[in-house]
Chains A and B, each alone.
Chain A
């Protein structure tokens, strides 16, 4: 009799364990699926600011290998640090801009944006002359420009010194660098999109899917904090092309502007062109009343 009980108990145990194990496997299946595109190195990677130089080197080479595997493109991903005594500022002349969106196109190519969605960090608003009501700005115009009685206002990240997007990030995946640029660690971001909601300029974008770009169109000169191809499910934003500007080059959107409406430079250099504009033109910032302290300025000619 005792033997029978023992046998039944054992049988129940075995059945229970089997059921439990298969239930666990079923419950864990979505995680396994999700982890298919995630390497162990990425899961264990520390925050950008905590990486040692050796760890960072490993991360960069891993990202280069992954880009080659996923996109078939040989790229160089660097870690480009801020230069000392540099604080970037950008100004845009609304009297000159004609709304041709060449800046948005240059951004699209330079920063390896998804081709199908025409994504760009720059949104050009067609505005009624005499009004600065952004709510009435139209970003979807599709007719020859400039249209009569309209003016055009490109909007991108203002690299605010008092940035709401940084404050709301629950994991500190976004922060301000010493040269004024607000950056995102794409490998630390959890994709909660709080920053997108907090930005009063609609300057942040969410990667609903991994960008799709033909290998030959990928810009191979990449940096960790700016234009490397972002993974699915993370936020991204304009970095004033830090991979260019930290090496002294002009941003891609400025070079593409056929009208010369854009002025970029170092705010700490009293002889810079950006300083001349700020000191001599009628300059304003968007939504000044919010106290965000943007580094992106607009101006009109007399």
Chain B
């Protein structure tokens, strides 16, 4: 008997919202020299595998197809994402599993034109619907970053869509602010 302990990507996002989701990410279409896309060298299949506990209580990586060969996406009417860990529910417009995931190749994404893309190119998939955000991202005015503004001096690391947004529930969940200004407790009353 296998029970799920954590979903894809090892460290799941926690109460701090989905800031650090680690599904494989893709180099930006606009990637400039000296710009390091996150996690570009990781194996997407590895990244999109589930970490499970087997009968002996040992962790085990399971590829998507292990389960989905028996449970194809079009049979999953209930959209039971919770099996992937956490309390996830699909909350992304009217999309279903098959809107993004390829039925025949579970480790690949399906694009609008019918082509498929590896998990690392999630940004291409997202950009198909979210045009303004995709444009702003390419222009550097959407999405977090770290490193150097002057890329003749050093490199810059950019977040990608799924680093910050849970693709299954992309809206930011409310979170508590940090560092209340001095005397806030009295003034808030």
Contacts and interface: CB of A to CB of B under 8 A. Distances in A.
Interface string B125-158: 0000000100010011111111111111110100
A118 B132 CA distance: 37
Nearest to A247: B153
| Overall SS of chain B's interface | loop
Interface string A264-281: 111000000100110011
Nearest to A246: B150
Interface residues on A, range: 35 or more
A77 B182 CA distance: 28
Interface string B1-37: 0000000000000000101000000000000000000
A281 B141 contact: yes
Contact of B164 (A119, A120, A123, A260): A260
Contacts of A265: 149
B143 to A, nearest CB: 4
B177 A101 contact: yes
A142 B142 contact: no
A302 to B, nearest CB: 7
Interface stretch (A31-39, A221-229, A250-258): A250-258
B184 interface: yes
Given A100-B178, A101-B178, A273 B140 contact: yes
A118 B144 contact: no
A263 interface: yes
A7 interface: no
B175 A100 contact: yes
A158 B183 CA distance: 25
Interface stretch (A52-60, A102-110, A183-191): A102-110
A80 interface: no
Given A250-B146, A260-B159, A120 B141 contact: no
A129 B171 CA distance: 19
Interface residues on B, range: 35 or more
A264 B149 contact: yes
A258 B145 contact: no
Nearest to A269: B150
B119 to A, nearest CB: 22
Given A100-B175, A255-B145, A258-B144, A266 B150 contact: yes
Contacts of B150: 248, 266
A101 B139 contact: no
Interface string A105-149: 100100000001111100110000000000000011111111100
Interface string B156-189: 1001000010000000101111111111110110
A302 B136 CA distance: 12
Contacts of A157: none
| Overall SS of chain A's interface | loop
B176 A144 contact: yes
Contacts of A281: 141
A277 B184 CA distance: 34
A140 B188 contact: yes
Interface string A167-194: 0000000000000000000000000000
B172 A139 contact: no
A22 interface: no
Interface stretch (A61-69, A91-99, A209-217, A285-293): A91-99
Nearest to A93: B141
Given A117-B182, A142-B184, A250 B143 contact: no
A3 interface: no
Contacts of A117: 182
Contacts of B132: 301-302
Contact of B148 (A101, A140, A145, A248): A248
Contacts of A105: 178-179
B127 to A, nearest CB: 15
Contact of A263 (B141, B172, B181): B141
29 contacts: A93-B142, A98-B175, A100-B175, A100-B177, A105-B178, A108-B179, A120-B179, A123-B181, A124-B177, A140-B183, A140-B184, A140-B188, A141-B177, A142-B184, A145-B174, A248-B148, A248-B149, A248-B153, A249-B149, A250-B145, A250-B146, A250-B147, A250-B149, A250-B156, A258-B164, A260-B145, A260-B159, A264-B149, A280-B139
Given A102-B178, A120-B179, A250-B146, 6 more contacts: A93-B142, A96-B142, A98-B172, A105-B178, A119-B182, A273-B139
Interface of A: 91, 93, 96, 98-102, 104-105, 108, 116-120, 123-124, 139-147, 245, 247-250, 254-255, 257-260, 263-266, 273, 276-277, 280-281, 301-302
